[in-house]
A and B are shown apart, each in its own frame.
Chain A
């Protein structure tokens, strides 16, 4: 059974359409990254999943439940790290977690939850004195209460330093190993690449592409760059490489030639061509297109 199914979801406000005809399915145990620029409709979608906002049309099933009609069942099984939240400044981290633990009837302890996000030292400090990153960690600990079956993380890397981002990634991996399905939105694309099984790209309220990162990379037609350090780098050698069908461009610097190739297998052709042109490859490296480049390829000209 899919953990999350969204069918033909549309949300219109008076003057704009935030999400239009969105359909997607996330399997149980999957880590799904929901990408898009600010204003693409990611948070609106998550707000609808959590029943903060009502859809104009469309159907949603979360763990087999309707998020509005079966709200109590859904919220009992889902952990949410919302975007643009505010903590209760007068309450301590412990009191925040006690509230969530009581609400869900969970057997967790604030100490263990805060230790998981590295906030155990600030457990009795008022949350109003927390930095933004600490508040983000507190909210993540709140999302983990009750061992949810589905974790929804809306822009989880916002306000985090590299250590905080690493902590989030580690937690996502831990929870995913426990069998938890994870759906998160982000525009911090470098982080997405490290933890997602699949990603969906949302732009102007439409899902414009979806799949595994390697599939999207291939579909987007974004080139990888292979860099060769060659002794005896000659113009004849460069011309020979340039003439290959699988090569879209070259640049040279000193004894290095950077070759833009259409796919990974092209590097073998390039290697053979260099050697047949009299060059000797000392080292080479491949740089795959980043998620950011894929994302730009999908959204840049829209």
Chain B
């Protein structure tokens, strides 16, 4: 636990950031206005539509905030010279990365959880009481998602030589693997590999396509939260997943149950999405830890 004082310092420092308060405000507004939507969502989820309203704001805005708070966490300190205090403490370099990740995740979770509680209370007034157990599970998965993105951002920051490099890599990651993945790039990747174009309105029964679709943190998070909301096995947005399963509506969601008729392999099992997040946590950290351990910090 030699990383704990650094985590506490990171938390204290980041908690005083105006940007974090702005993020909290954006998350509250976007989550509140995401409640409701089409009538079929209310019909399918009842009061749990309040929980579902957090899915898109968390993936897009909290994901963006996670990148913002992490991409300069190491290289920024190397450039300013404050890393000399941190790395002058009795702790190993992997403990520096651990302290930064834990502290920054904790700081970002404050506005995240405040949003969940505040918007849920507003939602309860309009839509009634939702499932508390599903709410808690959804919140834990959201924390895990933010933690994953912060691990990726911190890993990039630890291997970058300049803040510009870190910014390019981190925001590139956000655009490719978060913002554009679910509805565009996952299809492009599948087409590039197989040569088969994807029509998401009538997706092929390809385990590879569905695997690629959920192979990023956002895809895995959607699979897990859709499972918590009990709407089906899919990496798509909850609204599209519900719509796709209605007789008179088609959507671009890729829903396992609608394509594979129960014959899909274990690779698309919902719990494996936790393994995808674990990979996005461990691989960047192992690589960056190896590089950071050998790097000159001044």
A104 adjacent to B298 (CB under 8 Å): no
Take A52-B87, A103-B5 as given contacts and tell me if A85 and B82 are in contact as well, using a CB distance cutoff of 8 Å: yes
CA distance A86 to B297 in the complex (A): 14
A7 to chain B, nearest CB (A): 21
Contacts of A86 in B (CB 8 A): 80-82
CA distance A102 to B8 in the complex (A): 10
B2 adjacent to A72 (CB under 8 Å): yes
Contacts of A140 in B (CB 8 A): none
- Among B88-96, B180-188, B272-280, the stretch that binds chain A is B88-96
- Within 8 Å of chain B (Cβ to Cβ): is A87? yes
A245 to chain B, nearest CB (A): 51
- Within 8 Å of chain A (Cβ to Cβ): is B84? yes
Take A90-B17, A103-B90 as given contacts and tell me if A95 and B85 are in contact as well, using a CB distance cutoff of 8 Å: no
Contacts of A54 in B (CB 8 A): 294, 296
A71 adjacent to B5 (CB under 8 Å): no
Contacts of A200 in B (CB 8 A): none
B90 adjacent to A75 (CB under 8 Å): yes
A75 adjacent to B12 (CB under 8 Å): no
The contact string, 1 if C-beta is below 8 Å from chain A, for chain B 9-34, is 10011001100000000000000000
CA distance A52 to B8 in the complex (A): 22
Within 8 A of B (CB), among A61-77: 71-73, 75-76
Contacts of A288 in B (CB 8 A): none
Take A52-B297, A54-B294 as given contacts and tell me if A85 and B85 are in contact as well, using a CB distance cutoff of 8 Å: yes
- Within 8 Å of chain A (Cβ to Cβ): is B6? yes
B298 adjacent to A53 (CB under 8 Å): yes
A82 adjacent to B88 (CB under 8 Å): yes
Contacts of A84 in B (CB 8 A): 81
Take A72-B91, A76-B90, A88-B82 as given contacts and tell me if A53 and B5 are in contact as well, using a CB distance cutoff of 8 Å: no
Within 8 A of A (CB), among B279-298: 294, 296-298
Contact of B92 among A71, A78, A87, A99 (CB under 8 A): A71
CA distance A145 to B85 in the complex (A): 12
B85 adjacent to A91 (CB under 8 Å): no
CA distance A47 to B84 in the complex (A): 9
- Within 8 Å of chain B (Cβ to Cβ): is A19? no
CA distance A9 to B90 in the complex (A): 23
A55 to chain B, nearest CB (A): 10
A68 to chain B, nearest CB (A): 10
A90 adjacent to B5 (CB under 8 Å): no
Interface residues in chain B, defined as those with a beta carbon under 8 Å from any beta carbon in chain A: 2, 4-6, 8-9, 12-13, 16-17, 80-85, 87-92, 294, 296-298
A-B pairs, top 10 by smallest CB distance, nearest first, are A102-B5, A86-B80, A82-B84, A103-B89, A75-B90, A99-B9, A90-B16, A52-B298, A85-B81, A76-B90
Interface CB pairs A-B, < 8 A, 13: A47-B296, A47-B298, A53-B297, A54-B294, A82-B84, A82-B88, A85-B81, A88-B9, A90-B16, A95-B12, A99-B8, A102-B5, A104-B90
